[in-house]
Structure 1
């Protein structure tokens, strides 16, 4: 016993230091294990939370879209020369300008003069946007126009275009008149002289009053001139 006490007093400092090292080592080991466990749980929880948030946002977006479609009273089908053809939903009756805006606008080839942007569309209506002078299908008339009105307008436009291509006997100069078949410089001058004498041609048939223009020549000129 005396020997043990002697050894203890002799090595008490070394023993105390060793015990402290053991305690510190055990404490560090426990702390490291707890820290690793905590980090793993946190990372896993963070990933899980992020996934839940992403799914929640996606579900909310889908739910919002479904609710908007259910609450929409007006459905419009957009076809033809627009950037994004498709079906669009509206809470109230839209005008053509609003629908075209939702569809990304019209293509550059569209003649905007033909489209009434202020016309109101109804539920289930098809808005067909034609390209250039394309004839609109009878089943999809432009808003604000009936198929007959569109046909009449198209014919009027063609008639006006055809009329504009004709040579006006009352305003054409000698060079323009010489573009007509069978009309040379002398005959052109005769036409100008005759219209000055008559105070202007009243009808196309007055052209027959010009010397040298008979029935056969007039028949060739009639579809090419106007007054």
Structure 2
């Protein structure tokens, strides 16, 4: 398994729930953002990876709301230029509250399918396909239902719930991941075994509809591990990468 291929998958998935779409911004403006905020990114990063990194950074910016509103009102009253002394205060180092706001913005919505860890163990297959019923901002917890047993409501911390893919996550050949094993509703560890094939949708956005994987412990009777096709929606980063930049 390649040790260099993952390329920080946690930062290569475009944040769900973010209304600002950096994928529609010109590359030059994206690089201006990177330079201004000193965002860490590979110099040869392709446009999808660049926009994903910037979007993830944007969610961590802590804004002084009183300064914004005060400056806006004074500008409306014609008292002074907003730029004088009511500038937006930006803190590039995320605070605990900033992380909490970021997690709330990125939380899965009711009715959305997610990967949920319902077992205390970390064994392969401990994450399953579930459906979100609700999310609590205060406790940062989800109520979910197992897709195979909708009679049971399960409460889980946010660290036990991962949103599914949208076809724009950056995976490379050799990237470790988790994916639903064909004809099951459980996620198992795997590795991307062939370079993903990208296409452009009607909006001009690059997407990848499926990935070819090799699953862990999936050897056949000859000892060979077969390639398996999995819709990209059901391929997600490993938990430690997914939650890497969400911790307080």
Normalising by the residue count of structure 2, what TM-score does the alignment of the two structures yield? 0.17
Query: Is the helix fraction higher in 1 or 2?
Result: 1
Q: Looking at both structures, which has the greater relative contact order when contacts are Cα pairs under 8 Å and sequence separation is at least 6?
A: 2
| Structure of higher CA gyration radius | 1
